[in-house]
Amino acid sequence: MSAISPRYTLLTGKVGFRFFCLTVAALMAVSGWSNYTWNNTGSNSVPEDTLSDDPFAPSSDASDTKGSQLEFSTNTVNFGTVIEGTKNVFPVTLTNRSPHPIDVVSASASCGCTSVLTETPFSIPPGENRDLQIQLNTRNNVGDLEKRVTVFVHEGDKRFKFPVSVLAHSTPLVDIDQREMDFGMIKSAETAERTVNISVNHQATAVAAESVYIATVPAGVRASLVESDDVIGDRRQWKLYVSISGRDVPEESLNEDLIIVTPSTVESVVRIPVRAKQHTLLRSTPDRVSFGVVRETSDVSRAIALTCPEEYPLEVLSVETPVGPEAVRTSYNEDSQ
């Protein structure tokens, strides 16, 4: 029995699988599912071109507003200047000017950032009105915005669709007055400093409790971020203090990013390039000496001019040569000029 059981189980599994597939196909054919494509978009919005026998469904053959007795208080919703990362709502009033009820069956939006908060479908009795709440979410959006909402209406056996334009200018949540810092050449005994002003619009309640902080600082750079107690207008203020000593600048120069994190939905990570060069106090002219071919008994000399700024006097203590003092001799004469 033990040798037969596995084979019996496998055969039963195959038969059961075939029976299941045939049963599902038959059910789909009877119910009419085979005429449709399952599309799980995860959205509650209704596409404008949906065809259905449902009397409260939008129709693709709906005409424009001509001939309709439904009056919109405006066909353009202009939110003006708004803040990035906020939800803005505006009511559009719909008035029924006909002697019969008018059905608002649905509303669709041109993008995910625009939506109609009022639940549809609903009916407007003769002579009465109803508000349609239109929302614009500026998360991940800055600059000039132009969106659209389409409202589908049934007036008896007539079908209409009303386009509503949604306009706004979304300002960045975070403002930074310096996007890069080039310290140029820094002398060894000096320290260069910069201050960056950062502000966040505190009217955006979703991020009111969030802060700005430093994520990464380049090697050799010192940085601190301090929030001001003063709120200027509608903005919280921070000061980013950055300093670097000439002694800490690498010989090959510094060119790295200082990274800060903000509550912005558009620019949560801000990279500020920091550049600096090491100031060379001692310069040689030329910077390379070539003796060419030197005979064994010859004595060949070359002159090298060493210069430095007057405010940084230098004293030459010694000169090292790669082949040893027995082969190369050096002498030093100071010239005040």
The CA distance from 162 to 102, in Å, is: 13
Give the pLDDT confidence score for residue 259 in this predicted structure. Answer: 97
Q: What 3-state DSSP class applies to 38?
A: coil
Domain boundaries, the chain: 5-35, 70-171, 174-278
The dihedral over CA atoms of 77, 80, 85, 89, expressed in degrees to the nearest 10, equals: -40
Point out the least confidently predicted range of 129-138, 240-249, 293-302. Answer: 293-302
Tell me which CATH code domain 70-171 carries. 2.60.40.10
Give the pLDDT confidence score for residue 202 in this predicted structure. Answer: 72
Residue 165: strand pairing partners: 76, 148
- CA angle (134, 126, 75) in 5-degree steps: 30
Which amino acid would we find at residue 102? I
Residues 186-225 have pLDDT tens digits of 887 889 999 999 998 876 555 555 688 999 999 999 999 9
The dihedral over CA atoms of 54, 55, 56, 58, expressed in degrees to the nearest 10, equals: 80
Supply the pTM of this predicted model.
0.60
Q: What is the mean pLDDT of the chain?
A: 77
Which residue did the predictor score with more confidence, 58 or 329? 329
Q: Does 148 have pLDDT greater than 90?
A: yes
Q: Does 228 have pLDDT greater than 60?
A: yes
CATH superfamily entry for domain 174-278 = Immunoglobulins (2.60.40.10)
Secondary structure (DSSP) of 66-95: TT--EEES-SEEEEEEEETT-EEEEEEEEE
Please state, for a pLDDT cut of 90, what percent of the chain lies above it.
47
Residues 51-101 have pLDDT tens digits of 334 444 444 455 577 889 999 999 999 999 999 988 999 999 999 999 999
Give the pLDDT confidence score for residue 132 in this predicted structure. Answer: 96
Structure tokens at 13: 């599994």
Instruction: For the chain, give the longest Cα–Cα distance.
Output: 122
User: Does the CA dihedral 262-263-264-265 come out positive or negative?
Assistant: positive
